[in-house]
Structure 1
Amino acid sequence: MKPLRLAATASLSLTGVVLLVPILAHLLTGPPALGIVLGVIGVLVSLGLVAVGAVVYRLDVSQTNAVRIAGWNFLGIVVLGVVFILLFTYRPVEDAGFLFAVALSAGAVAHVIIGVYDVRRIRAEELATERERLAVLNTLVRHNLRHEAQRLLFAVEKVRDSDPDTAGEIEGVAEDLSEMNENVRAVEEAFDTEPTDVDVAAMCRAAAENAREAYDIDVSLDVPETAPARAGDQLRDAIDELVENAVEHGGDDPTVEIAARVDGRTVDITVADDGPGIPESELELVTGEREITQLEHGSGLGLWLVRWITEEYDGRVTFGESDRGGAAVTLALQRA
């Protein structure tokens, strides 16, 4: 728990509670119809402020931005408070405390809304800066990955005849680096493209044919003639990644199943295998149930790539168990 964040958001709720007291007190005196209407509005707005405190506490904003929202609320109370005090001093009115509380509650809500939009503006600017930095970092990483993979492949040829086992290990590392580079490329391209209408069924058929030729395995395919969804070409990278994982972690003679079906407003793609399943520790990292640390970071980008690409197309990924006891990963995308 962060005390400063709690204090900032609690001040929002406290504002609503304090303003609620004179409004309720006035309602208990039995005011005329217009007074009742104003009182009810004041009660609803004040209760809204009480609730806003809890909402902002759970809002995905930094502690500094939570304080900023509370600051806008305080500014609204001070400015409007001074204005109304001067007005009522200049020309006293009946039930000034009640009117003061109703006006302040409305003003406080308005300033909280201004504060939220201010925070969103700041966050948008921060995200734009972060994205620019990540783009530069991504370019450098991809260049270095490709360069180092090429260096390793050149080294392989020097030792292939004298030490074939070592050459095989080096070649495997180079291939892993190349694959990682392609995964980073696929994620970057998914982030930079808008979803369009794609035929998921055609993608699944192409992925199945590619897997049969590349791995010489049995691939079961169950897809309709067409299955249009809102996605992009990078969806094929996600499907291929799932198939590759299924082959790599499947049984001794792996069997891979690719299925697609139209289910209401979504198109579901499921890739299943007959292996031991995805390790629980890996799943917890990819699904966000456990934080990544230096000691716990997963075995690669594969499942992350699948998740990021799917979510970029406003889809979702679910993990389950196949009928053969292995893993079954389902991508749910919006139907076109």
Structure 2
Amino acid sequence: MKSIERTLGYLTIFGLAVATATAYVLHGLRATNSVAAFIFGAFIPFCVALILFLCGIWLTRQELDDANVAKIGFWCVTGVVVTCGIVALMMLYQLSEGVVLSNWVVVFVGGMTSGALVGFLVGVYDVRRRATEHRLATEQERTVRLNQRLRVLNRVLRHDVRNRSNVILGYANLLTEDDGDLEAHAEIIERTALDLVSLGDNARRIEQLLSDAEQTVVDLEALVDREVETIRGEYPDARVETDYADYGERGSVRANQLLGVAVNNLLENAIVHNPAEEPLVHVSLGLHEDDRVEFRVVDDGPGIPHDEQSVFRSGQETQLVHASGIGLWLVNWIIDDSDGTIDFEEQRPHGTAVRVSLPVVDEPDADAPKLVRR
């Protein structure tokens, strides 16, 4: 359907240019009575038709979608109808005054040419105006989203850094006291310090996300396999199972370049917040009829608190309601920049299912799918 729109747009423009130019050539061959009649009745109108034809060639070299090309063709037709209507009214007035035009066909063709050219210019202006408005609206939306994310990042970082720093300072003070628990206190300090390092890594990734929201074609199954193997190596006591039975043919997705970070965070979150000695995580991929891929991470842990889930649904954080860290915020933003959605479901008797939906790449000849950076 799109190719038909583009073809009709080009046919309209070039058809009007060729038809009117041919009419002027034929009229010029017959207009031998005077040089003025040839110049004003054939040559100059022919040049106008030639300009319309050159405008059509220029249009073929512009990066416009099919609908916009068709829209410019529609404006050409509209210009022809309006101009010919005006010419017809003028001719009727002349007839009412007893003036008979000898070359009324040439006058109408002249109206068609000028109307088509004016319509072309109006169409190009309208298309560019709409494109500019869309670009400005997109930039404004992106600016609002970035400001919101920066506010969230600032609040979460201040909250988490302050809490973990207090823990380190508190247990560091305990180390000065000989209470027999020095080793335990040191372990807590080490663990908290590692949490701060992880927090810094996530902050760096968020900086990448805020500065670069480019998308790329991703082989999702290969990416999930890579992150699963990474998690298995980092948490050997956890049991991570995979199920791609409903995935069928490999489906590539176009996603943010940090998609691997989001997948890793979801897998790690399902393990580190599970107090069981052997946490169980079930990972699955599935294709749906709506041309979307569903990636699910199901665990048997205590679940994600409802107030944190509400934060991700609303996209806002307050002093009373906030997420416990920036890991899930990072996941939420990466999925959002990948034109995807993320949902949380409670499992019975316990556990949480995180469901991520991503659009499948439509073009069969799209860029070769690849793994994205971590």
- Shorter-normalised TM-score: what interval? 0.5 to 0.7
Residue 241 (structure 1) aligns with: 265
Unaligned runs of 5+ in 2: 1-129, 177-181, 362-374
Alpha-carbon distance, 1:166 to partner: 3.1
Residue pair 1:276, 1:327 contacting (<8 A) in 2 also = yes
Identity across the alignment (%): 32
Alpha-carbon distance, 1:323 to partner: 6.1
Residue 275 (structure 1) aligns with: 301
1:313 aligns with 2:333: no
Q: Which letter does structure 2 place at the counterpart of 1:201?
A: E
Residue pair 1:250, 1:326 contacting (<8 A) in 2 also = no
Aligned-partner Cα distance in 1 for 2:297–2:153 = 31
Which string of whole-angstrom CA distances, capped at 9 and with x for unpartnered residues, describes residues 59-109 of structure 1?
A: xxxxxxxxxxxxxxxxxxxxxxxxxxxxxxxxxxxxxxxxxxxxxxxxxxx
Residue 230 (structure 2) aligns with: 210
Q: Which letter does structure 2 place at the counterpart of 1:178?
A: V
SS at match of 1:193: coil
Aligned to 1:222, which of 216, 239, 243?
A: 243
1:333 aligns with 2:358: yes
Alpha-carbon distance, 1:275 to partner: 1.1
Alpha-carbon spacing, 1:323–1:178, altered in 2? closer, same or farther (3 Å): same
Aligned-partner Cα distance in 1 for 2:146–2:262 = 25
| TM-score normalized by the length of structure 2 | 0.48
Aligned-partner Cα distance in 2 for 1:135–1:316 = 17
Aligned-partner Cα distance in 2 for 1:329–1:131 = 23
Which string of whole-angstrom CA distances, capped at 9 and with x for unpartnered residues, describes residues 26-65 of structure 1?
A: xxxxxxxxxxxxxxxxxxxxxxxxxxxxxxxxxxxxxxxx
Q: Which letter does structure 1 place at the counterpart of 2:241?
A: S
Alpha-carbon spacing, 1:188–1:334, altered in 2? closer, same or farther (3 Å): farther
Alpha-carbon spacing, 1:269–1:262, altered in 2? closer, same or farther (3 Å): same
Which string of whole-angstrom CA distances, capped at 9 and with x for unpartnered residues, describes residues 123-163 of structure 1?
A: 7776787799899999999xx9xx99xx99xx9xx999973
Unaligned runs of 5+ in 1: 1-115
Aligned to 1:284, which of 288, 310, 317?
A: 310
Residue 288 (structure 2) aligns with: 263
Residue 188 (structure 1) aligns with: 207
Aligned to 1:169, which of 188, 203, 226?
A: 188
Residue 50 (structure 2) aligns with: none
Q: Answer with 208-217 or 177-186: which moved more.
A: 177-186
Residue 74 (structure 1) aligns with: none
Aligned-partner Cα distance in 2 for 1:328–1:241 = 14
Alpha-carbon distance, 1:227 to partner: 3.1
SS at match of 2:314: coil
Alpha-carbon distance, 1:238 to partner: 0.8
Aligned-partner Cα distance in 2 for 1:225–1:207 = 20
Alpha-carbon spacing, 1:171–1:228, altered in 2? closer, same or farther (3 Å): same
Residue 231 (structure 1) aligns with: 255
Q: Answer with 158-167 or 247-256: which moved more.
A: 158-167
Q: Which letter does structure 2 place at the counterpart of 1:267?
A: V
Alpha-carbon spacing, 1:259–1:118, altered in 2? closer, same or farther (3 Å): closer
Aligned ranges 1:114-129 → 2 under 5 Å: none
SS at match of 1:287: helix
Aligned ranges 1:1-336 → 2 under 5 Å: 163-191=182-210, 192-216=212-236, 217-223=238-244, 226-253=250-277, 254-264=279-289, 265-288=291-314, 292-322=317-347, 325-336=350-361
Residue pair 1:273, 1:324 contacting (<8 A) in 2 also = no
Which string of whole-angstrom CA distances, capped at 9 and with x for unpartnered residues, describes residues 10-33 of structure 1?
A: xxxxxxxxxxxxxxxxxxxxxxxx
Alpha-carbon distance, 1:218 to partner: 0.9
How many residues align? The count is: 220
Q: Which letter does structure 2 place at the counterpart of 1:325?
A: H
Alpha-carbon spacing, 1:230–1:259, altered in 2? closer, same or farther (3 Å): same
Q: Answer with 301-310 or 245-254: which moved more.
A: 245-254
Aligned-partner Cα distance in 2 for 1:312–1:323 = 31
Q: Which letter does structure 1 place at the counterpart of 2:331?
A: V
Q: Which letter does structure 2 place at the counterpart of 1:269?
A: F
Alpha-carbon spacing, 1:197–1:325, altered in 2? closer, same or farther (3 Å): same
Alpha-carbon distance, 1:330 to partner: 0.9
Alpha-carbon spacing, 1:134–1:230, altered in 2? closer, same or farther (3 Å): same
Query: Based on CA coordinates, which of the two structures has the bigger radius of gyration?
Result: 2
SS at match of 1:293: coil
SS at match of 2:192: helix
CA RMSD of aligned residues (A): 4.5
SS at match of 1:309: helix
Alpha-carbon spacing, 1:231–1:165, altered in 2? closer, same or farther (3 Å): same
Which string of whole-angstrom CA distances, capped at 9 and with x for unpartnered residues, describes residues 243-277 of structure 1?
A: 11110223513100111112131111101100121
